[in-house]
């Protein structure tokens, strides 16, 4: 059923509007896509920089959290109670320690032999039978070694499901690096003298303090900041459920990159690793994530922020861009209509003008209010119309002259006593005057268009037929005038009558063209009466010569002639 439907026809104006609108809208779309992509890239880059800075900030806070615990532990190990190894004073010192730092959940004093000498929590003191031998424990072995290095242990979990880690420092005279904040128990390459280390002070630290710090940062920035250990498990998070559930985040790109880096030879270097990733987090929320390494514990700080939050401003601008595109479409249509009018109005005017000229109205002139090629085209068409009008006037004048000459020739030909016949190249009659009709006895209308041999049948004195092949012979050479004449030919008429005519045939030179309407002219002159009078004269002379021998015979001869009506009709009244 759709085969019979005609395709819609669009004029040049509609096509121009469509084309201009399409180009403008396409340009707007491309510009907005480029703009959107560029702005998104800029926002993403700014967010990456912001997240990286936030990760570094959280890293410094956590490192400061650990270092502050170490410094506090060193300071408390420098009291007289530890150097005098007075257990009562140590107990009082450590009890005060719990009051100063709520993150410390257990304190232990280990002697030089690795045996615990004092262990207590904020709630109780462990009895002597619960004190253990820690000589093989890294928390004792590392600080009590010759270099007196502070020790930070691995993360572990207690029955409450919360993470803890251990810090231990040697009980020895510390080193000061300019200020108290840089206090330490070891210097690179500096060995302790025998007897300098009097034992080890160990503290169990809860990571609860980090939760508040991370929560503050998250609320301040809108990002989620949490801490993982070297295996990718969450050890500090604003949402404690992740900590208690020991959530394994090692599959997240940022965490996986952190683990890969700390396990490599570069340690915690960022020089050859990708810091920011875009991925779906554990809650299937698309966002950006970055990481930072915490030395020397090899923990990692992860900063995550949802894409919607980052691009919220840009997403709001999408609506503005949509309205802008609609407005741009409306403006594009208006511009396209205006442009199409400027372009197509002259073309339509020229087209209508050309149609008028094509219909023959050469007096019409095309008027366009524009410049450039279209104006030049209109002027060219107007000039052509003016020249054609002049040519038409000239041709009409020439036609009138030719028509007048033709009429003159027709009048002359029709009034010629002799028969005039014009033939075309195929030997057909194209002109047949009234004298030829009277001589031959054929109507003019019947003769025109017929072959000449059908209309004109001539015979010589021997009754041999004279056809067109004889008097329309081809020209043999340039000197051949292509002329034929015969003085006495007879033709048969109706009622067994004959007429004697002379025939003159002449060809017409074509001068290089083969489309002439007339190629030969035949002239028939009726000499029937002349031939009859000539015969009568000959008879008279013959009879006169024969009969003059006697007057009577002469008189009888004259009388017999006078009795002939034909002779009498030829004589005037005086002769009679």
pLDDT digits (tens, 9 = 90+) for 484-509: 777 778 787 776 777 888 888 887 76
Q: What is the pLDDT of residue 202?
A: 94
Residue (of 202, 210, 188, 181) closest to 299 by Cα position? 210
- Give CA–CA dist 13/368, Å, rounded: 16
| CB-neighbour burial class of residue 117 (10 A; exposed 0-12, middle 13-18, buried 19+) | middle
Residue (of 303, 222, 367) closest to 53 by Cα position? 303
Element (H, E) at 484: strand 483-492
Encoding tokens for residue 474? 């081809």
Q: CA separation (Å) from 469 to 216, 465, 478, 493? A: 127, 11, 20, 22
pTM of the shown model: 0.53
Residue (of 295, 304, 305, 303) closest to 62 by Cα position? 295
| pLDDT averaged per 10 residues in sequence order, the chain, 576 residues | 43 72 80 79 78 84 87 86 86 89 92 92 91 91 84 87 90 67 73 82 88 79 85 86 86 86 62 70 81 83 81 68 74 75 74 78 74 75 81 84 82 80 85 82 83 82 81 58 73 76 79 63 81 78 66 66 64 59
Largest CA distance in the chain: 216
Task: Report angle CA 265, 269, 273 to the nearest 5 degrees.
Answer: 95
Within 8 A by CB and 6+ apart from 348, the residues are 12, 13
- Give CA–CA dist 248/309, Å, rounded: 25
Q: What is the pLDDT of residue 533?
A: 80
Q: Give yes or no for a contact between 469 and 535, defined as CB atoms under 8 angstroms apart.
A: no
């Amino acid at each position: 059923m759709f085969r019979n439907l005609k395709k819609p026809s669009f004029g040049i104006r509609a096509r121009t509007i469509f084309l201009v609108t399409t180009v403008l809208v396409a340009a707007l779309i491309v510009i907005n896509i480029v703009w959107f992509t560029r702005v998104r890239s800029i926002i993403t880059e700014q967010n990456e920089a912001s997240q990286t800075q936030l990760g570094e900030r959280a890293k410094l806070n956590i490192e400061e959290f650990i270092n502050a615990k170490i410094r506090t532990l060193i300071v408390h190990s420098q009291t007289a109670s530890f150097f005098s190894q007075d257990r009562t004073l140590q107990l009082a010192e450590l009890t005060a320690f719990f009051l100063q730092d709520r993150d410390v959940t257990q304190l232990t004093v280990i002697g030089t032999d690795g045996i615990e000498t004092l262990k207590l929590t904020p709630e109780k003191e462990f009895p002597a039978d619960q004190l253990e031998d820690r000589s093989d424990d890294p928390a004792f072995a590392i600080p009590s070694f010759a270099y007196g290095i502070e020790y930070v242990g691995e993360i572990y979990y207690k029955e409450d499901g919360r993470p803890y880690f251990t810090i231990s420092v040697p009980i020895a005279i510390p080193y000061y690096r300019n200020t108290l904040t840089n206090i330490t128990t070891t210097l690179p390459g500096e060995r302790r003298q025998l007897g300098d280390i009097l034992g080890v002070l160990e503290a169990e630290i809860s990571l609860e303090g980090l939760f508040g710090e991370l929560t503050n940062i998250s609320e301040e920035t809108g990002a989620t900041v949490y801490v993982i250990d070297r295996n990718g498990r969450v050890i500090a998070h604003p949402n404690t459920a992740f900590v208690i559930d020991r959530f394994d985040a090692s599959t997240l790109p940022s965490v996986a990159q952190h683990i890969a880096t700390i396990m490599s030879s570069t340690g915690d270097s960022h020089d050859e690793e990708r810091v920011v990733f875009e991925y779906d987090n554990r809650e299937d929320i698309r966002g950006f994530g970055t990481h930072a390494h915490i030395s020397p514990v090899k923990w990692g700080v992860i900063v995550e922020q949802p894409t919607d939050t980052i691009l919220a401003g840009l997403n709001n601008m999408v609506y503005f861009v949509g309205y802008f595109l609609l407005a741009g479409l409306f403006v594009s249509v208006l511009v396209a209509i205006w442009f199409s009018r400027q372009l197509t109005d002259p073309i339509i005017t020229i087209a209508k003008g050309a149609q008028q000229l094509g219909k023959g109205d050469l007096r019409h002139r095309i008027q366009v209010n524009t410049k450039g090629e279209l104006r030049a085209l209109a002027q060219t068409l107007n000039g052509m119309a003016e020249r054609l009008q002049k040519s038409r006037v000239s041709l009409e004048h020439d036609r009138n002259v030719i028509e007048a000459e033709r009429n003159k020739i027709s009048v002359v030909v029709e009034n010629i006593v002799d028969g005039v016949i014009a033939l075309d190249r195929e030997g057909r009659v194209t002109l047949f005057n009234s004298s030829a009709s009277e001589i031959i006895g054929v109507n003019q209308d019947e003769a025109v268009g017929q072959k000449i041999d059908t209309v004109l049948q001539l015979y010589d004195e021997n009754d041999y037929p004279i056809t067109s092949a004889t008097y329309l012979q081809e020209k043999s050479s340039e000197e051949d005038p292509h002329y034929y004449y015969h003085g006495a030919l007879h033709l048969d008429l109706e009622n067994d009558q004959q007429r004697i005519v002379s025939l003159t045939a002449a060809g017409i030179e074509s001068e290089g063209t083969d489309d002439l309407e007339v190629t030969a002219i035949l002239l028939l002159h009726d000499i029937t009466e002349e031939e009859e009078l000539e015969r009568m004269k000959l008879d008279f002379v013959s009879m006169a010569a024969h009969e003059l021998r006697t007057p009577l015979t002469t008189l009888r001869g004259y009388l017999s002639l006078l009795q002939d009506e034909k002779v009498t009709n030829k004589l005037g009244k005086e002769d009679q």
